[in-house]
Amino acid sequence: MRKIIYSMMISLDGFFEGPDHNLDWPIIDEELHSFANDRQSDGIDTYLYGRRMYDVMRYWETAEENPESSSYEREFAQVWKGIHKIVFSKTLDQVEGNSRLVRGNIAETVSTLKAQPGKDIAVAGANLAASVARLGLIDEYQIYIHPVVLGQGSPFLPALEDAIKLQLVETRTFGSGVVYLRYNRTDQGQ
């Protein structure tokens, strides 16, 4: 069965975006970008997005055309465009590229995808991830902690009703001071 992975870059105090939804604080250098590129291309074949995260990530549809894009950014754009995207939204009328718009039941859609053959599935966006976590469907959490304290913003996960037990399975520290933590869920089926 495919894993559902929630991966997010966060500040030391647990926010994935600043107070005005700003995303200008992460340190995304070549080392970190190349690591993320490899993780995405080797293990993911489907992204799950909410509307807001999809709007942010649509940048990658045309990033290859930007002459100021680095080689590792162009590489990620190619990877991103090749991965199938499912966008959960009640407000969007259409999506572009390799994407499909879903207005239906999140639990049913994610459970069906998880049971299908293929590579793993990445969920992005805190609100959608919280919904999927409440359903008990996230198997792995990948967190990139950046050496910055934002003081306020949008939390990595909004409040959940129940605790989720995790086991640390991998760590890595990048030259920029970013720390990567990968956890597997240990309380599945309980």
What are the backbone angles phi and psi of residue 24, rounded to the nearest 5°?
A: -95, 5
In a domain, 53, yes or no: yes
Tell me, what CATH number does 165's domain have? 3.40.430.10
For residue 188, pLDDT over 70 is answered with no
Rounded Cα distance, 68 and 20, in Å: 26
In a domain, 37, yes or no: yes
In a domain, 47, yes or no: yes
Domain assignment of residue 80, given as a range: 4-185
In a domain, 44, yes or no: yes
pLDDT, residue 50, reads: 92
In a domain, 14, yes or no: yes
Average pLDDT across the chain, whole number: 92
For residue 190, pLDDT over 70 is answered with no
pTM to 2 decimal places: 0.91
pLDDT, average across residues 88-113 = 92
In a domain, 190, yes or no: no
For residue 189, pLDDT over 70 is answered with no
Quote helix, strand, coil % in the chain, to nearest 5. Answer: 30, 30, 40
Domain count, the chain: 1
In a domain, 29, yes or no: yes
Which of the two residues, 90 and 41, has the higher pLDDT score?
90
For residue 39, pLDDT over 90 is answered with no
pLDDT, average across residues 109-124 = 94
